[in-house]
A and B are shown apart, each in its own frame.
Chain A
Amino acid sequence: MPLLPVILWTDALIYLLLAAVAGFVWYVRRHEHLRAPWWRVAQTPAAMSALVVLALFIAIGLLDSVHFRLALPAAPAMQADRTASRDVAYAVDVKSMLDVLLSSIANRPERTYSAPLATHAYAKETVELPGAGGAPGKQVRAYPRLKYGGAHLRDPERDWQADVVLTGFRGVALALPLWLLASLALVAACTPAERVASRDFWHAVWGGKTAVPWRAILITLALLALLGVPVILLSANYHVLGTDKVGLDVLYLSLKSVRTALVIGTLTTLVMLPFSVLLGIMAGYLRGAVDDLIQYFYTTLNSIPGVLLIAAAVLVLQVYIETHPDVFPTSAQRADFRLLWLCIILGITSWTGLCRLLRGETLKLRELEYVQAAQAFGVSEWRIMLRHILPNVMHIVLISVVMDFSGLVLAEAVLSYVGVGVDPSMISFGTMINAARLEMGREPMVWWSLASAFAFMLALVLAANLFADAVRDAFDPRVRVGVRKLRFAMASGEA
């Protein structure tokens, strides 16, 4: 086998999350009362457009979560020996599927900064002009040509503009048929064949009269295609978003950051979810001493300022890593463990809100007739909590998971700035912004790293916010009322 699969901690958790989502979808499809709110989400144009964008980000993140180590080409002298013992040497660095797909832009490092689509470097360097007849040339200060960016142009001053515009047009021309094919395939896959074939159906689509807002979805897809295909074509010869300080392609960095953001946004809530659900329901249902203890526990945790608790925990991990170097053999494993640790700590600081909400809702539910009926039948407490309470608070859990996502993505950038975010060697929006921030004072300004990081973050967070809003509206407006009532309960001394 030419490669050795590597499963990092966060990869394993992502696969687990995927399995959980698949199980959830299967469960929802078989239950009418659960299908109904999702159907309402599917009818919201903004949410479906956001979902298309999110799906793209998730696809990038998933590709980036399949890790492996490539086999090294065996040295010829050793080859006979190797094949005999079936012993293959693997590269030290861990690659992902996305790295392989993007290898064309990932492996073209320039020396340092260069602007988007540039052909020449950002800073002047001393360049030796070729001297006549083998004589040593004159040395001048000039902007040197980039090694890869626009390398195919013979005379960049003359050809550059035409080449960029032409490639852009070719991209647009290619994007349109691709989009048509993709949208036909998508619509056909999601609706019965006889309706797709009919003309009335397409009239309804363009009039915005279908139940599922196909028009919004198709327009979003068109925009993505019009943006994406030209970028793909241009990136063959240029650094579309420029390069950073050590000459890495900013587009590559931005795409790699997506996984970090998604991991923080999803795994953080996932790792603490069992605790907050279990403790919240127990506190609300069992009341008494258990309730007091759990409340004391989460008030205490809540009292510690979040950023400082995270900082303390990350400092602790740093000291641990520095004093126990043998536990983490490779830097990728170290960075990955730090990411997981950050998720856990962020989870610890944020699970208390959900726990409190669940406790309040359970306090209400336990007085309802069906719970009392179950009690009268002698159903055990644990069984009531599992069978009767849990399914009826799941909408709160779902809403809180989707609502937390965007805040966590934004928090990552701030934490990396403070110096307690992800490992400095891990590519993330936070580390990108942090590195670019130091170059603010330069003249002319190095703006492209910052702009790319912020633009990608905005797209991701905006999509997540729009989707989360639709989910919240569809699932329950009562949640907000729940918060208010709970505050009253706490204030009035019930707590």
Chain B
Amino acid sequence: MYAYIVRRAVYAVFILVGVNLITFALFFKVNTPDDIARLQLGVKYVTPEAIAKWKTERGYDKPLLYNAAAAGRHKFTDTIYFEKSVEMFRFNFGRSDDGRDIAYEISSRMWPSLALAVPVFLVGMLLQITFALMMAFFRATNIDFWGVVLCVLMMSISGLFYIIGGQYLISKLWNLVPISGYAAGFDALKFLALPVVVGVIGGIGSGARWYRTIFLEEVGKDYVRTARAKGLSEVVVFFRHVLRNAMIPILTGAVVTIPLLFMGSLVAESFFGIPGLGSYTIEAIQSQDFAVVRSMVFIGSVLYILGLLLTDISYTLVDPRVRFD
């Protein structure tokens, strides 16, 4: 199994190099550093000297992929692609356009993101599974039917509506919690309550329906019939056999999203004024800060690949039938 994991990890490095090439192509090949410099400097101040200075300051004054002027291996290493990529892989992201250290920003903004994302993930999953269990247990009755109707209805409502509606109802009309903002320590609780509730409600529709199909699929299997034939009650069959077996696809499916919790939620964070990585990304997108967006793309990919790796491992842990060669 260790050989398998090592193999997957090596594969992950190759994928990361691919991701890096794609983002590099997007950010540097389609828009040359000259284009970005012109955009950043503004129309008024564009002179060849100013562009050259801008490029030197940020290390963009080199060939993109192949440096014909350099000697030996420096032909490949003395380029924008190589230098920027190496720095990326060392998690050294450089500075954003307003001169701040990106790595420091990320490490300090990670915590508010997690403070929102982790409760939403845990509470949300618990509620979704509970709701799905109820529908599956009372399958083919009115409870199941109207539960599915409710799920489809909730799925069809835009996530923005939950946020705006929640802010209006709970913060503005009932005055229970502040509309937006954030504070460190325990004060964060009153700022986080509403976003967590909204996040949980927004995810319930699609989540519960998806888990319901997993439960129903499991209910139709042969071992369930065997358990009933043994004379077990429906409750025991359902909660001891079906639930435990259905947890395999549910848990392994959830593993891939766990690392991505670090990235935070783009929309919720900026709506509720939480200074996490999601709102950082949005600000960077809106101010066209390419260095920050590129760093976030890189981190997001690293986390996703980590999630894939964890999924592979979790299969071996929860399901003894899965073997690797």
Contacts and interface: CB of A to CB of B under 8 A. Distances in A.
Given A440-B164, A488-B322, A491-B312, A304 B23 contact: yes
Nearest to A433: B160
6 contacts: A304-B23, A315-B285, A323-B39, A414-B266, A440-B167, A461-B157
Contacts of A469: 152
A412 to B, nearest CB: 10
Interface string B277-305: 00001100110101001101100110011
Interface string B187-214: 0000000000000000000000000010
Nearest to A468: B152
Given A320-B30, A457-B158, 9 more contacts: A300-B19, A304-B23, A316-B31, A322-B39, A323-B31, A417-B160, A433-B160, A462-B156, A480-B213
B312 A304 contact: no
Contacts of A140: none
Interface residues of A, number: 52
Q: Which 5 A-B pairs have the closest CB atoms?
A: A305-B300, A300-B18, A462-B156, A491-B315, A461-B156
Contacts of B234: none
Contact of A305 (B38, B39, B297): B297
B168 to A, nearest CB: 7
A440 B168 contact: yes
A305 B168 contact: no
Contacts of B167: 440
Interface string A322-336: 110000000000000
B325 interface: yes
A419 B304 contact: no
Interface string A407-422: 0001001100111100
Contact of A462 (B16, B22, B152): B152
Interface of A: 296-297, 299-305, 307-309, 311-313, 315-316, 318-320, 322-323, 406, 410, 413-414, 417-420, 429, 433, 437, 440, 445, 450, 454, 457-458, 461-462, 465-466, 469, 480-481, 484, 487-488, 491-493
Nearest to A460: B156
A442 to B, nearest CB: 11
Contacts of B217: 480-481, 484
Nearest to B31: A319
B322 A492 contact: yes
B156 A458 contact: yes
A95 B213 CA distance: 46
A301 B285 contact: no
B267 interface: yes
A305 B252 CA distance: 20
B15 A296 contact: yes
Contacts of A297: 18
A308 B300 contact: yes
Contacts of B160: 413-414, 417, 433, 437, 454
A299 B312 contact: no
B182 interface: no
Given A308-B281, A308-B293, A493-B4, A316 B26 contact: yes
Interface of B: 4, 14-16, 18-19, 22-23, 26-27, 30-31, 35-36, 38-39, 152-153, 155-161, 164, 167-168, 213, 217, 249, 252, 260, 263, 266-267, 281-282, 285-286, 288, 290, 293-294, 296-297, 300-301, 304-305, 308, 311-312, 315, 322-325
Nearest to A453: B158
B164 to A, nearest CB: 6
A465 B152 CA distance: 7
A418 B213 contact: no
B285 A418 contact: yes
Nearest to B288: A315
Contacts of A420: 285
A491 B324 CA distance: 8
B66 to A, nearest CB: 22
B267 A491 contact: no
Nearest to A406: B156
A299 B158 CA distance: 29
A418 B168 contact: no
B22 A308 contact: no
Contacts of A457: 158
Nearest to A307: B266
B267 A454 contact: no
A462 to B, nearest CB: 4
Contacts of B152: 462, 465-466, 469
B249 A305 contact: no
